[in-house]
Amino acid sequence: MAEVLLNIDDLHIGYRVYKGTLKVLDGIRLVVHTGEKVGVVGETGCGKTTTMRAVMGILPRQAIIKGGRITFKGKDIMVCGPQGIRTVRTDGMSMIFQDPTAALNPVFTVGEQLADVIKYSHVGRGLERRGAQQAITAMSIEALKQTALPDPQRIITNYPFQLSGGMRQRVCISMALVTARDLLIADEPTTNLDVTIQDQVLRLIKQLVEEKSMSLILVTHSLGVARMMSDRIYVMYAGNIVEAAPTEKVFGNPLHPYTQGLLRSVPKLTGEGIGFGIPGRIPDYFNPPAGCRFYPRCDFRLPECENEKPELYETDEGHYVACFIHR
């Protein structure tokens, strides 16, 4: 069994706002092994981005961590202080975001932004003064080539506005992978891209991650994308992990009512029609349900679901469901 690279243990996070506290994350448990590709699937507002920001240490000021631990390569990164977090971010993990236009600084060239990433990493720190610039340029061009960008020499001198959406996202990927990392976190990296470009970018991410033996966390709301990219999938709903299993098991035998509802709602190429969706809305985070957070919308309610919170129960080899039906 491969080593555990990232371990999120019982994470509770809230947001302090004018009206009160939004109790968003309600005990997240998530594990990523070395060389593994993990998909985190959930709809808007389920807390998947909050979880990833907590891992990278870039939570907004209003966020309060009410409990839990995040360990990366054995070290607790919630208590390691600003220097520790910086090292983790420059050497251990990197992140690519949904909107490549917002992720790139419009007033600097691609080359300058890549150079910054290199300079602040352990590679940059190890470079000698003389010849550093050439080394950096060489590394940048190599990184751009790896993301199949045509004419990297020219792109180094381009500004982000001169590039198309797909190309900008490839630049972001280059920036994330230019120096060796252990973990790549991709937060909805292709949601804003056209479907033919999305396909290319996703295959590229998969190929690079496998080539460099990195781990990947892919956050998405699209079940199809998660299926294409992940070895294992976590399904999130309203700040909880409701199902976790290897990909084939999630799609072949979805157990949690929410997962089943999601799969039913996805339009399929077989043309069998679209399910009726899931009635109701996500819970109010100011006053979330006391028991299972999916209780108000669930078709398979049991009396205990209202006031007791289900744990993740293992039903099958590696298949976990947070539902009393499968206790």
Partner 1 sequence: MPRLYRVQLEVKGLPEDIFVIEQLKKYFATDDKTKYVKAVDGVDLVLRKAEVLGVVGESGSGKSTIAYTVMGMYEPTSGRILFKGRDISSRATKRPMEVKKELQIVFQDPSTSLNPQRTIAQILGLPLRVHKLVDSKGITDKVVELLNMVELSEDYLYKYPRALGGGERQLIAIARALATRPDLMILDEPTSALDVSVQAKIINTLIRLQSELGMSYLFITHDLSLMRNLAHRVAIMYLGKVVEVAPTQEFFEAPLHPYTQMLLSSIPVVSEVEDALKPEKVIARGEIPSPVDVPSGCRFHTRCTLVMDVCCQEEPDMVRIGSDRFVSCHLHTE
Query: Do 220 and 41 meet the contact criterion of CB atoms below 8 Å apart?
Result: yes
Q: Which is nearer to partner 1, 49 or 222 (CB)?
A: 222
> Minimum CB separation from partner 1 for residue 189, in Å?
13
d(CA 118, CA 105): 16
- According to the binding rule CB under 8 A, does residue 269 interact with partner 1? yes
Q: Which is nearer to partner 1, 70 or 202 (CB)?
A: 202
- According to the binding rule CB under 8 A, does residue 24 interact with partner 1? no
d(CA 110, CA 155): 7
Q: Which is nearer to partner 1, 202 or 323 (CB)?
A: 202
d(CA 64, CA 112): 35
Burial category of 307 from C-beta neighbours within 10 Å (exposed 0-12, middle 13-18, buried 19 and up):
exposed
Residues 204-233 vs partner 1: string with x where CB under 8 A?
-----------------xxxxx-xx-----
- According to the binding rule CB under 8 A, does residue 173 interact with partner 1? no
Residues 133-172 vs partner 1: string with x where CB under 8 A?
-------------------------------xxxx-----
Strands 75-76 and 240-246: unpaired
Which residues in 228-257 contact partner 1 (CB under 8 A)? 228, 251
Give the residue, chosen from 92, 124, 152, 261, that forms a contact with partner 1 under the rule CB under 8 A: 261
- According to the binding rule CB under 8 A, does residue 202 interact with partner 1? yes
Which residues in 41-60 contact partner 1 (CB under 8 A)? 43-44
Give the residue, chosen from 32, 38, 236, 262, that forms a contact with partner 1 under the rule CB under 8 A: 262
> Minimum CB separation from partner 1 for residue 198, in Å?
7
Strands 37-41 and 63-72: unpaired
Instruction: List residues binding partner 1 (CB under 8 A).
Output: 43-44, 164-167, 194-200, 202, 221-225, 227-228, 251, 261-279, 281
